[in-house]
Amino acid sequence: MKVKITPFNAAGSIFAPPSKSFAHRYVIAAFLSGKDCVIENVGLSDDVSATLAAVTSLGAIAKRRGGDIVVSGKRSVLNATVDCAESGSTLRFLLPVAAALGVNAEFTGSDRLMSRPIDDLARAINGHGATVSGHTVSGKLESGTYYLNASLSSQFVSGMLFALSVVDGESEIILAGEKVSKGYIDITVSVLREFGVNIRETENGFKIVGGYNPPERVTVEGDWSGAAFPLAVGALTGQVTVKNLKYPTLQSDGAIVDLLKKFGAKVYVSNGEVTAAAGELSGVSDIDCENCPDIAQVICSVAAFAKGKTSLKGIERLKIKESDRIAAIINTLKTCGVKAEYDNKTLTVYGGAPKGCAFDGGNDHRTVMSAAVIASAANGGSTVDGAEHCAKSYPEFFEDIKRLGGKIDVNF
């Protein structure tokens, strides 16, 4: 699906989409608790829908009710085929969960997802009563001591925390290497504690005792990674307010507030609302995306209009996301006449005057939305191909941009 975007002056307010990070975790925790729980404001993103379908395959009794999910226990399942679609969180969280539940499971998904690395997660599981071979799980996980390289993916750590939350007895996770995306691990720990799981952080990892005491109802907070895109539009073209955003937040992508300020945008936070307004933008040096990789692309969209150079580090893992996002950033900016280069450590964007053009979304939701941000303020009209991929995380993205005054024409 292709959209045509004419530059505009953004004005108005919208509600942030539900946080994928919290929604994934609430659905899994509610399933593992085996008790009744209502999860409010889950939304309709493809990734969270993948997690709901996956836990249902593993035995959850759950259904959608509008934008909410109602979990009413779980059933025993011995064998399952678990389709994770394109969701890395679904695969990496639930593969160890299947092992903990003793479900012989085969995990499937898109070609890109199946090519993303899980070897370190498999090594941590193997030898503890369960076996992971490729994307197939057999046996039943036991309590014990588990070793993980925390520098590869926070999702591996979160997956093991979920798994050990339903294994009898106390277990320990010992982490090697510097934690990447630590904020996402913090969200997992927060959700597990909210569901009554006994979990304690140690000097080099976690100790966790299996068992749940869940709440009857939880509410998913607004998503900072999604909100970053309309806030960037406000910083470039006018003034945008995004509601239902908790600040401070455990979501590392809340860093967009300080980053937009550093660029020179006018940003105000008050009572769960964040407003970003246009200002004179200048490049920012040494932006560390280690803990907020999901906003690297939208940062570069803003940097394209900022005077001078902007440099980003801690972005190596962008190569193994839904696409090679480092290449996507460089190609997107090149298409609109902005130079960017990567030296295997630092990505540098040379701000300029982006021109309207035909953007290729590269089958990646964040690439599509980042291109749309540029198109909103570029010199001349643009088209963005692949708009349907926004459904992965932010199905209402283009409708929200329209609510802010966006001149968008959708063609099939």
The pLDDT-based confidence of 217 (bands split at 50, 70, 90) is: very high
Q: Averaged over 160-180, what is the pLDDT? A: 94
Q: Measured between alpha carbons, how far is 183 from 253 in angstroms, rounded to an integer?
A: 9
Query: Does 114 score more than 70 pLDDT?
Result: yes
Is the bond into 96 cis (omega within 30 degrees of 0)? no
Q: Each residue of 228-238: pLDDT tens digit? A: 999 999 999 99
294 carries an active-site annotation: yes
Question: What is the number of other CB atoms lying within 10 angstroms of the CB of residue 188?
Answer: 28
Q: Measured between alpha carbons, how far is 34 from 165 in angstroms, rounded to an integer?
A: 12
Q: Each residue of 337-358: pLDDT tens digit? A: 999 999 999 999 999 999 999 9
Residue 244, C-beta contacts closer than 8 angstroms, at least 6 positions apart: 15, 16, 221, 222, 272
Q: Each residue of 74-110: pLDDT tens digit? A: 999 999 999 999 999 999 999 999 999 999 999 999 9
Q: Measured between alpha carbons, how far is 57 from 75 in angstroms, rounded to an integer?
A: 10
Residue 201, C-beta contacts closer than 8 angstroms, at least 6 positions apart: 189
CA angle 159, 160, 162 (to 5 degrees): 65
Q: Could you say which of 47, 223, 253, 294 is catalytic?
A: 294
Q: Each residue of 52-62: pLDDT tens digit? A: 999 999 999 99
Q: Average per-residue pLDDT in the chain?
A: 96
Q: Measured between alpha carbons, how far is 348 from 341 in angstroms, rounded to an integer?
A: 5
In degrees and rounded to multiples of 5, residue 254 shows phi and psi of: -60, -10
The pLDDT-based confidence of 320 (bands split at 50, 70, 90) is: confident
| Higher-scoring residue by pLDDT: 367, 179 | 367
Q: Averaged over 201-220, what is the pLDDT? A: 96
The pLDDT-based confidence of 208 (bands split at 50, 70, 90) is: very high
Q: Supply the pLDDT for residue 184.
A: 95
**Helices and strands: H and E segment counts in the chain:** 13, 24
Q: Each residue of 32-42: pLDDT tens digit? A: 999 999 999 99
Query: Does 178 score more than 90 pLDDT?
Result: no
Query: Does 412 score more than 50 pLDDT?
Result: no
Q: Supply the pLDDT for residue 411.
A: 65
**Closest C-alpha among 275, 269, 272, 271 to residue 235:** 275
Q: Measured between alpha carbons, how far is 261 from 268 in angstroms, rounded to an integer?
A: 9
